[in-house]
Amino acid sequence: MYYFFPDFAYGPVLTHLTLHLIVGMGAYSLVFRTKLFNVLLKNPLVPPFLSLPAVTLVFIAGLLAAQIWQTSGHAQTALSDEKRALSRIYHSVVEPQELRLALRTGTESYVSLVREIEWGRNRNQYPAAEVERALVDLGVMLRASSARTNEAAAAAQATRDLLRDLDILENAREKRLELGGRARFGYISTWTILYFMLLISAISVAAVHRPYPHTAAVALCLYCFSMAMLFSIIALSIHPYQGPNALPPASLVVK
């Protein structure tokens, strides 16, 4: 949801700057354009009141940031599992030679489709049918080989190992797609709470400066800009497969 518009690496920065500008203008208008806070002209709030909603906001932002840092680690682990499984299938020594060549061709096709469509185009936010078919083809070849090698213990064990590697490959892919999909829509409720707390804290900044409109405007600008930078740092790291710190499609290789 963070790259719909504008859709480039640092797009979330513009998104959050715009949203914080709207929140700041809304808080200023509510405090100074309505009569709800006129009582503060005679009985102003004490400045320490500013810290109450701001501390709550930063605490919630810290919880979201902690989840995001873990997501990056999970993405690295899924990539490592996927690469190892692909490497073992690609370099397998199963017989006959035709099967080995077919597995290598199927593995290269899987990597190419993932890098071009699922990772490159879809940004791992939803699966690609072409990749599904490539996985099915690999499974069909391995299971057919298993049926032919039941009498040879060593060959059967090698095929069972490859089937286990195929399961690891499928699980790693599912984890990759889960992380990409969660980054797209999985934090909406947390962002909603964050922006609600941002509005409350912006209102408190304006309310504390109710007798001084110009001072309130300056304080709101500084506060909203600093919070926009905080939110942008979180948003730029929230998607492990998109943004300035994203894992590139080229990181999926067969060695």
Q: Which amino acid is at 134?
A: A
pLDDT level of residue 252 (50, 70, 90 thresholds): confident
Runs of H (alpha helix) within the chain: 11-32, 51-90, 97-113, 129-148, 153-185, 188-208, 213-237
**pLDDT class of 50 with cuts at 50, 70, 90:** confident
What's at 131, amino acid-wise? V
Q: Percent of the chain, pLDDT > 90?
A: 43
- Which amino acid, one-letter code, is at 204? S
Phi-psi region for residue 43, left (φ > 0), alpha (ψ -120 to 50) or beta?
Answer: beta
Residue with tokens 């001084």, as numbered in its chain: 212
Q: Mean pLDDT lowest for which of 88-92, 167-171, 197-201?
A: 88-92
Portion of the chain with pLDDT greater than 70, in percent: 92
Question: Which segment, 67-76, 112-121, 155-164, 182-191, is predicted with the most confidence on average?
Answer: 112-121
The predicted structure's pLDDT at residue 128: 92
Phi-psi label, residue 243: left if phi above 0, alpha if psi -120 to 50, beta otherwise: left
pLDDT (0 to 100) of residue 3: 52
The single-letter DSSP state of residue 49 is: G
How does residue 132 score in pLDDT terms, banded at 50, 70 and 90?
Answer: very high
157 pLDDT band (50/70/90 cuts)? Answer: confident
Residue 1: what pLDDT? 46
- Can you spell out the DSSP letters for 103-165? HHHHHHHHHHHIIIIITTTSTTSS--HHHHHHHHHHHHHHHHHHHHTSS-HHHHHHHHHHHHH
pTM assigned to the model:
0.80
Q: Above 70 in pLDDT, residue 2? A: no
Measuring CA to CA, which residue among 179, 107, 102 is closest to residue 144? 102
Q: CA–CA separation, 99 vs 96, rounded Å?
A: 5
Helices 188-208, 11-32: inter-axial angle, 10-degree rounding = 40
Residue-level pLDDT at 95: 74
